[in-house]
Amino acid sequence: MGADFSQIKALAFDVFGTLVDYRTSIIREGQQLSLKKGLAVNWGQLADAWRGKYRPNMDRVMRGELPKMSLDALHRMALEEVLLENEIEGFTEEEKEHFNLVWHRLLPWGDSVPGLTRLKSKYILTTLSNGSTSLLVNLAKHAGLPWDLILSSDLGGAFKPDPKMYQLVLDSLNLKPEQVMMVAAHPYDLLAAKSIGFQAAFVMRPLEHGAHAVPDLTADPSFEIVANDVVDLARQLGV
**DSSP-based helix, strand, coil % in the chain, nearest 5:** 50, 10, 40
Beta carbon nearer to its own copies, 170 or 190? 170
Least spacing, CB of residue 151 vs its own copies, in Å = 9
| Span 166-225, contacts to its own copies by CB under 8 A | 171-174
Using the rule CB under 8 A, is 117 a contact of its own copies?
Answer: no
Minimum CB distance to its own copies smaller for 90 or for 157: 157
Residue 218: CB atoms within 10 A of its CB come to: 8
- Going by C-alpha positions, the residue among 42, 76, 44, 43 that lies closest to residue 57 is 76
- Cβ distance to its own copies smaller for residue 27 or 169: 169
CB of 79 to its own copies, least distance (A): 18
Please identify, using beta-carbon distances, which residue of 49 and 137 lies nearer to its own copies: 137
Query: Which of 182, 178, 155 lies closest to 168 in space, CA to CA?
Result: 155
Q: How far is the CB of 65 from its own copies (least distance, A)?
A: 24
Please select the residue that binds its own copies; options are 124, 182, 184, 231, rule is CB under 8 A: 124
Closer to its own copies at the Cβ: 61 or 175?
Answer: 175
User: Which of positions 128-167 make contact with its own copies (CB under 8 A)?
Assistant: 132-134, 137, 140-141, 148-150, 152, 154-155
Burial class from Cβ neighbours inside 10 Å (0-12, 13-18, 19+) for residue 190 reads buried
* C-alpha angle 54-168-62 in degrees, rounded to nearest 5: 35
Residues near its own copies (CB under 8 A), total: 18
Q: Are 48 and 209 in contact (CB under 8 A)?
A: yes
3-class secondary structure, 143: helix
**At closest approach, how far in Å is the CB of 106 from its own copies?**
17
User: Toward its own copies, which CB reaches closer, 147 or 223?
Assistant: 147
Closest by CA to 167, choosing from 195, 138, 200, is 195
Q: Check: CB of residue 133 under 8 Å from CB of residue 155.
A: yes
Contact positions vs its own copies (CB under 8 A): 70, 124, 132-134, 137, 140-141, 148-150, 152, 154-155, 171-174
